[in-house]
Amino acid sequence: MSNKSIGLPDNLHKYLLSVSLREPEVLRQLREETAVLPHHNMQIAPEQGQFMAFLIRLMAARRTLEVGVFTGYSSLAVALALLRKL
């Protein structure tokens, strides 16, 4: 995984984030704290977390199982989606 969407030029990536990203404060804080860790690129990108939350809501999932987490960004995004907070 990467903490930036794959294959997007920097200007397009910036635009995507500026017009579509709705990241709760707790996720932003976790992402920023993870950014200083040695393997920070293992974390998913914020737009990927938002997409995972969208899929959870779309499927009306009530339970999930995530295998293999780094600092828990995606797990937290999924948990917030299950609680309908994201």
Q: Which residues contact 61 (CB under 8 A, 6 or more apart)?
A: 81, 82
Summarize pLDDT for 4-62 with one digit per residue, the tens. Answer: 676 788 898 889 889 999 999 999 999 999 999 999 989 998 999 999 999 999 999 99
Residue 74 has pLDDT above 80, yes or no: yes
Burial class (CB in 10 A: 0-12, 13-18, 19+), 5: middle
| Lookup result for tokens 């974390």 | 43
Taking the whole predicted model, whether its pTM rises above 0.75 is answered as: yes
Residue 1 has pLDDT above 60, yes or no: no
DSSP letter, residue 3:
S
C-alpha closest to that of 52 among 82, 78, 80: 78
Q: What are the boundaries of each domain within the chain?
A: 10-82
Is there a contact between 74 and 66 (Cβ–Cβ < 8 Å)? Answer: yes
